[in-house]
Amino acid sequence: MGTTASNLFRGGAPPPSKRLRRASDLPAIQSVEDLFPPEVFFKTVAGGYLEAEEIGNIACANRQFKETSYNPRMTTGRGCIALIGQGCSPSVPEAKKWFKIAAELHGTREALLFLGEWASGGTTTFMKFFVRSRSADPVDPVEAETLFRAAVAADDSPSESYCIFAPAGHAHDLARIGLATMLMKKGGDDALVEAASFLDAVLDHDNIPATQQQMRRPNSEAGALRAEIILQQQAPGALAEALELVEAIPAADLEGIEGSNCAYVLGKIYKALDEETPNDEHARRAWEHINAAMGVGHPRAAFDVGQMAERGRGTPVHLLTAYTGYCMAVSRPVPDERAVARLREVAAGPQMPVELMVAIVRVRQYNAQADEVVQGNATFEQAMEHMNDPNQTLALLGIPAVDPAPQ
């Protein structure tokens, strides 16, 4: 292989150079891709695994590989690898760079999807944490809508360009859901009608599961959002229609951070039913589902939890829980105006409630722990366990922890 440092220190002549020869049973090389096919190139650069029989195909990459280096699969795949940290440290800037390249060069649906999630700040609680969107990051609803529209229309994306959200049908449904979510946030009759049409397109066929890990649940997510539109349109019988739609969602799709919006909408419907005609069972179910959604970070559940804890519906009256919910609702990138109004009323009283002061400290602590999740330093469960430690709350108030009594 030529002179090496060890040869020089040992002395003596360098060993004869060796040449790697192509096996005689392989076809003659007609082009660079015969020596280094795109599939092998992708596995090598993307940090994948090469089979033993493929090792002989490896060659030194140079300008001749530029076209392969920037094909739809490579550019989208490198964005995904940077995002999840496959064989490297996760890097949002690196992921964004490659997704932008993929979107500009090829308009791949998956790249447009991820860019839309960043522009929106995360259309779901799960996606907010998955793309590591921080509360301080700028949100651009107009740009997000544009990107999701492009993702919906990207029917010519090559099948090999789908990585995390393969196959194409699964990614297409997620693009429809992302666009519908942005239209619902925009508001207005026309936007709601258009959003409903995209959600109906998802619900018109059976669920298309992801090829790999089931991170998203398109049909269940679409059902929950469709129920929300029904509630917003306030047609006669809307509550019953929305309840029927959401109760059809499988129980497993109500669980965890992935199912938080489905759980929230179901709880919201029970809450509305209880407000229309007081019913302890409806109130209990509302609290159960909304509190579960808030527990995994759903952005709109916080106000409802606060309201129910303050009113004592579905749960005993508990002002610290109520004010904590309100404070969490106003600490969002887009504050919940309902919570803003309620806290103004509370703060305008003759004396600031001590529960509100403690709630403010707890929410500061929660936000710090949530940033740890976004930055990849902790799981959501670890962060919540840390936040619920009463000694941590006391420490933020400047109160030393009490030594445990000797056993």
Q: Where are the domains of the chain?
A: 28-302, 303-401
Please write the tens of the pLDDT for every residue from 349-390.
Answer: 888 888 888 888 878 877 776 665 555 555 555 555 655 565
- Whether the per-residue pLDDT at 402 is higher than 70: the answer is no
- 33 in Cβ contact with 68 (< 8 Å): yes
- The reported pLDDT for the residue numbered 111 is 96
Confidence of residue 18 (pLDDT cuts 50, 70, 90): very low
Q: How far is CA 381 from the centre of its chain?
A: 16
The pLDDT value recorded for residue 23 is: 58
Query: Cis peptide before 350, with omega less than 30 degrees from 0?
Result: no
User: Per-residue pLDDT for 170 more than 90?
Assistant: yes
Rounded Cα distance, 369 and 90, in Å? 19
pLDDT for 137 beyond 70: yes
Burial track 30-51 (b if 16+ CB lie within 10 A, e otherwise): eebbebbebebbbbbbbeeeee
Q: What is the mean pLDDT of residues 222-237?
A: 88
Contact by Cβ (8 Å): 302, 336: yes
pLDDT, tens digit, 9 for 90 and up, residues 265-293: 999 999 999 999 999 999 999 999 999 99
Whether the per-residue pLDDT at 179 is higher than 90: the answer is yes
Place 100 in a pLDDT band, splitting at 50, 70 and 90.
very high
- As a 3-state breakdown, the chain gives helix, strand, coil percent values, each rounded to 5, of 65, 0, 35
Which three-class secondary structure state does DSSP give residue 74?
helix
Q: Over 80: is that where the pLDDT of 43 sits?
A: no
| pLDDT tens per residue across span 298-325 | 888 999 999 999 999 999 999 999 998 9
Separation of alpha carbons 168 and 225, rounded Å: 22
pLDDT recorded at residue 7: 40
Once rounded to an integer, what is the mean pLDDT over residues 207-223? 91
Proportion of the chain above pLDDT 70, given as a percent: 72
Tokens at residue 123, please?
């259309």
Query: Residue 349 burial by CB count (10 A; 0-12/13-18/19+): exposed, middle or buried?
Result: exposed
Which range of 38-47, 140-149, 353-362 scores highest in mean pLDDT? It is: 140-149
The predicted pLDDT at position 58 comes to 45
Sequence-ordered alpha helix ranges (H) in 277-404: 280-295, 301-311, 319-330, 337-347, 354-374, 380-387, 390-396
pTM for this predicted structure = 0.70
Q: Decide if 88 contacts 69 (C-beta within 8 A).
A: no
Q: Which CATH class is domain 28-302?
A: mainly alpha
Mean pLDDT over 37-43 rounds to 59
